[in-house]
Amino acid sequence: MDAKRNTDMAATVIIGQRVRAGQEREFEAWQLDLNRAASEYPGFLAAEVSPPTAVQPDWVVVYRFDSVAHVQAWINSATRQDRLAAGADYLDGPGTQQVIGGGARRTDPLVTVVVSHRVSPEHVEDFLAWQQRLRLAESTFRGFRGAELFRPVAGVQDEWTALYRYENADDLDAWLISPERRALLAEGERFSDFHARTIDNSFGSWFAFDEHGAPAAPPSDVKTSLAVWVGLYPTVVLLSLALSPLKMPLWLGMLVGNLLSSFAMSFITMPYYVNPLLKHWLRPPPDAPVAKTNWRGIGTVAAVMAATTAAVYLGTRVFWHLP
């Protein structure tokens, strides 16, 4: 049962990377060492390295973890960022990256900005030089945790994708409003056809991925607030009942209860109860009628909360007299 669940939740990241001529042996040794570092991270299942072939000019590295949460933790880790910087001399330009899989929907606590650019073939060299200047400027700001640039993937995406990561939103904002960034954006005006998205929201990463495990923008604040309410009420009730025999004073009981409820919401309630229950309302299909979907979602929330409230009342006041 556990083995099947891990398989169903497994997440895979596929990285394609071109290697400088004459550096193949050094790159392979460096990559194997990087894979050993990955194997020490939670949820690691396997890593594979495949050299180029007649039809595939890239070295291909495949990582498999037991969830998107864990694969993102590795991809965004300080360990990997440091190793990438150390191995930069072996790499011939940007690579490609695809994350495939579902399961526990949580991301690294870093704030990540994803910027997609459409670049005409004749401007690629200028674009790469401009991105390098951006990266060097970003790296001088507090909280910077690394940047990566990925080439278009034939048949998957036509855009170049740049990712940069900061420790928190304040550090990111300092870069976003900086004179240095404004000057560089003006310098790269020809690449102004881009789309930027920050992977962060009011409730952390509880809604950072869609049902297939792909990064996605969070639902509206109203939807996320109601969804958290659906999960928070039963979580707090159950934890309060579980902690009541300890007879802790209010200040201590609230402190411990809030800590436990945060973990329970992140690792159990949201990924395994609320998101599956409300997925068609939180992220409706593109062709779903908006009004009908919203009324159905609100009705589901009302019915679930009424049933939960009734169950709590009966359990604590009718069948048992619990605190």
Quick check: is 270 in a domain? Answer: yes
Per-residue pLDDT reduced to its tens digit, 164-195: 888 887 888 889 889 998 899 888 887 766 65
- pLDDT score of 301 more than 90: yes
Q: Of 184, 218, 252, which one is at a domain's C-terminal end? A: 218
Q: Cα angle at 58 between 16 and 94, to 5 degrees?
A: 55
Per-residue pLDDT reduced to its tens digit, 6-37: 444 578 787 888 899 999 999 999 999 999 99
Look at 7 and 291; give whichever has higher pLDDT. Answer: 291
Q: Which residue has the tokens 């409706």?
A: 284
Quick check: is 121 in a domain? Answer: yes
CA distances from 321 to 237, 286, 303, 317, 318 (A): 14, 48, 25, 5, 7
Confidence of residue 272 (pLDDT cuts 50, 70, 90): confident
Extract the tokens encoding 200: 């962060």
227 with 205, same domain: the answer is: no
Total domains in the fold of the chain: 3
123 with 195, same domain: the answer is: yes
**Domain around 141:** 108-218
Q: Of 218, 253, 274, which one is at a domain's C-terminal end? A: 218
Quick check: is 26 in a domain? Answer: yes
What is the CATH classification number for the domain harbouring 153? 3.30.70.100
Instruction: Please give the average per-residue pLDDT across 126-135, as a whole number.
Output: 91
Instruction: Please give the average per-residue pLDDT across 115-141, as a whole number.
Output: 88
**How many angstroms separate the CA atoms of 305 and 245, rounded?**
26
Print burial letters for 31-66: b (CB count within 10 Å at least 16), e (below 16). beebbebbeebebbbebeeeeeeeeeebbbbebbbb
Question: How many C-beta atoms lie closer than 10 Å to residue 76's C-beta?
Answer: 20
232 with 310, same domain: the answer is: yes
Extract the tokens encoding 101: 């899989």
Contact 243, 256 (CB under 8 A): yes
112 with 209, same domain: the answer is: yes
Looking at residue 66, what DSSP letter applies?
A: S
Quick check: is 323 in a domain? Answer: no
Q: Of 104, 131, 153, which one is at a domain's C-terminal end? A: 104
Quick check: is 77 in a domain? Answer: yes
Q: Output the average pLDDT for the chain.
A: 80
Residue 119's pLDDT is 86
